[in-house]
Amino acid sequence: MTQENQDRITNLEIKISFSEDLIEKLNQTVYKQQQQIEFLYRELKALKEQAGSSGSGAASTNPHDEIPPHY
């Protein structure tokens, strides 16, 4: 094998090594982001349930159920 071919193989091995490291870091980032998305989804769902059960929102009150102010 010539020196030129050996240098090319060495350079390719270096590039593969860096690429594998980058892929692993990106996978970790995607995994962490997915965990954050799932956490935020659960928080949003809990807030929606809390807002729906509290009945204090303007859209959830029925004017027919309210007592007039003169009572």
* pLDDT tens digit sequence for 49-71: 999 887 655 555 677 777 777 75
- Spatial distance between the Cα atoms of 58 and 52, rounded to a whole number of angstroms: 11
- Spatial distance between the Cα atoms of 28 and 44, rounded to a whole number of angstroms: 24
Tokens of 42: 């659960």
Size (the chain), residues: 71
**What's the whole-model pTM score?**
0.61
Tokens of 27: 């996978």
State percent of the chain over pLDDT 90. 69
Structure confidence at residue 36 as a pLDDT band (50, 70, 90): very high
The whole-number pLDDT of residue 16 equals 99
- Spatial distance between the Cα atoms of 24 and 31, rounded to a whole number of angstroms: 11
Per residue in 2-26, pLDDT (tens digit) is 999 999 999 999 999 999 999 999 9
